[in-house]
Amino acid sequence: MLDRREFVQQLLIDRGDLLAVPGLGSATYDVAAAGDHPLNFYLWGAMGGTAMIALGLALARPDRRVVAIPGDGDMLMGLGSLATIGVKQPKNLVVVVLDNARYGETGMQPSHTDAGVDFAALALACHFRQARTITHIEEATEVRKLLHAGEGPILINAKIKPDDVPRVLPLRDGHAIKQRFIAALNDA
């Protein structure tokens, strides 16, 4: 099982012009903890929408790499979006689910993945080009390569330890997060 902070940190090393959409709750805190960046579109709500926001972005900017980073609860709420992504086949999109099999924000109640629901199998059934589950930090380097060069759509189910880690709170004003992101994207 992965340490969530260490894994996300390694995922975003030398990120270049990668566009990142972390889902509400711990995923947003993990991405912020790895280093604030204007090309992070932090979500504080819109549960279930993370992968779809990333899809709209990936379709609009086929010249750029896009990663969605939902937690397992967020991904479960938007399972249909895996099918929608599978239909559109965006080559530049990777979904990395941070799966601790828990609802961390509400008191660590078990999620469906705790009972064996398998995102990698779901993604393959939805015609993702590649999907797999990882449990060891040594695999982070390979996942990072996929973020930057793998042919999407790809889903990585990252099994993380259900630790309660300190919150790292980034920008919370939605207009500011959006404007900063758009400005940085137009700047590049």
Give residues in contact with another protein (CB under 8 A). Answer: 19, 21, 41, 44-61, 64, 78, 80-81, 83-84, 87-88, 174-175, 177-178, 181-182, 185-186
In the bound state with another protein, the residue whose beta carbon lies nearer, of 1 and 46, is 46
In the bound state with another protein, the residue whose beta carbon lies nearer, of 43 and 143, is 43
Specify burial of residue 1 (Cβ count, 10 A radius: 0-12, 13-18, 19+). middle
Contact in structure between 126 and 46 (CB atoms under 8 Å): no
CB of 31 to another protein, least distance (A): 15
In the bound state with another protein, the residue whose beta carbon lies nearer, of 20 and 101, is 20
In the bound state with another protein, the residue whose beta carbon lies nearer, of 68 and 154, is 68
- φ, ψ of residue 3 to 5 degrees: the values are -80, 120
CB of 163 to another protein, least distance (A): 28
What is the helix (H) or strand (E) element at residue 52, kind and residue range? helix 50-60
Give the C-alpha distances (Å, rounded to integers) separating 173 from 4, 21, 22, 61, 149: 25, 15, 15, 24, 32
CB of 21 to another protein, least distance (A): 7
What is the helix (H) or strand (E) element at residue 121, kind and residue range? helix 119-125
- What is the Cα–Cα distance from 93 to 37, expressed in whole angstroms? 19
CB of 108 to another protein, least distance (A): 23
CB of 53 to another protein, least distance (A): 4
Pairing of the two strands 66-69 and 19-22:
parallel
- What is the Cα–Cα distance from 156 to 161, expressed in whole angstroms? 16
Residues 6+ away with beta carbon under 8 Å from 36 = 170, 171
CB of 82 to another protein, least distance (A): 9
In the bound state with another protein, the residue whose beta carbon lies nearer, of 135 and 179, is 179
In the bound state with another protein, the residue whose beta carbon lies nearer, of 13 and 83, is 83
